[in-house]
Amino acid sequence: MWWGVAAALLANALYSTGFVLEKRALGSLPQVTVREPLRLLRLVLGSPLWIGGSLSLAAGFAAQLAVYRTLPIAAAQGIFVSGLVLLVLLSARLLGEETTGRERYALGAILVALLMVVLSLDERADTVSRAAPYALVLTICLPSLAMGVWLYRSAERRARHRHRLPTTGVEYGVAVGLLYGVSSLAIKGVSSYLTAGGLGDAVLGVLRSPYPYLLLFTGAFGLVMSQAALQRCRASLIVPVCTTVTCLFTAVLGTLSFGESLPDDPLRLTLRLSGTVLAVAVLLSMPKHDPPATPTAPQPPVPAKELTPP
């Protein structure tokens, strides 16, 4: 189990580094949009800094495979969300982004909520499941994918209105978080085949499952959607929102679909459910728009000196 904890902490560092590098690279690129995906890909693939960030994210996904083989889904999400602190620190240091007081309180409340989820875990009682019914996985994932795409398009339409306050990225974060939540369940499914006897049997089993195709869809759409959102919004807000949605989605629906039962102890059950409700409530209460920039007050004209005759 300690190998799983180490892999989760490594994934945190890789994810935070990858998002910050991509955000920094996007700051020097022309405006990108999901309506022009080929142009977006051409621009980002021409940036060495962005490629470094994407490789860091890909390594983070690989680390998740080790995590899901050794830790229960809910425990893994509790560790993953601790990476928010590193992300905020890196964003402030490398991107010059500053969070508002309300957002800092919200991030703190989210960490408290997910700490409650972690405290509800018991290594002796919690088990790591290896399989889930395909029909149940698709019943959960397909509507979630449709909802994520619809929510993103709705946020795009509202953002195009003139005279609208600049968005903080909460809606974008929720939309991308739903896609990454489905991706996280797919990674969990793929990890279950890594325990098979031979490599050939494992690859064949994966290809017969829906998991690689869910990963392809979420990878393609998540790439385009997340890059456009990162360019417009602060990484220090959009990534924590995305991470929170992904973790809650995976912890709740992943636990149900893979049959990792809720705690029997009343105290642990209360901690897990209360932490989930608190995180969702904080997410819904976060500000949807950045305050408009305060215009600089014009300086009074300096009176010209009166010329006196000699």
Residue type present at position 273: L
* pLDDT above 70 (res 159): no
Q: What is the pLDDT of residues 168-224, one digit of tens each?
A: 578 888 888 999 999 989 988 888 787 655 677 778 888 889 999 999 999 888 888
**135 vs 200: which has the higher pLDDT:** 135
* pLDDT above 50 (res 307): no
Cross-strand bridge partners of residue 167: 289
Confidence band for 144, pLDDT divided at 50, 70 and 90: very high
* pLDDT above 80 (res 271): yes
Phi then psi for 258, rounded to 5 degrees?
-95, 5
The pLDDT > 70 percentage for the chain reads: 79
Lowest mean pLDDT among 7-21, 158-172, 198-212, 235-249: 158-172
Tell me the average pLDDT across 286-305: 50
Q: How many residues does the chain have?
A: 310
Per-residue pLDDT, 51: 93
Mean pLDDT score across all residues of the chain: 78
Q: State the SS3 of the chain.
A: CHHHHHHHHHHHHHHHHHHHHHHHHHCCCCCCCCCCHHHHHHHHHCCHHHHHHHHHHHHHHHHHHHHHHHCCHHHHHHHHCCHHHHHHHHHHHHHCCCCCHHHHHHHHHHHHHHHHHHHCCCCCCCCCCCCCCHHHHHHHHHHHHHHHHHHHHHHHHHHCCCCCCCECCHHHHHHHHHHHHHHHHHHHHHHHHCCCCCHHHHHHHHHHCCHHHHHHHHHHHHHHHHHHHHHHCCHHHHHHHHHHHHHHHHHHHHHHHCCCCCCCCHHHHHHHHHHHHHHHHHHHHCCCECCCCCCCCCCCCCCCCCCCCC
Lowest mean pLDDT among 60-69, 114-123, 159-168: 159-168
Per-residue pLDDT, 146: 93
Per-residue pLDDT, 123: 62
The pLDDT > 90 percentage for the chain reads: 11
Tell me the average pLDDT across 128-153: 87
Confidence band for 161, pLDDT divided at 50, 70 and 90: low
Tell me the average pLDDT across 63-79: 80
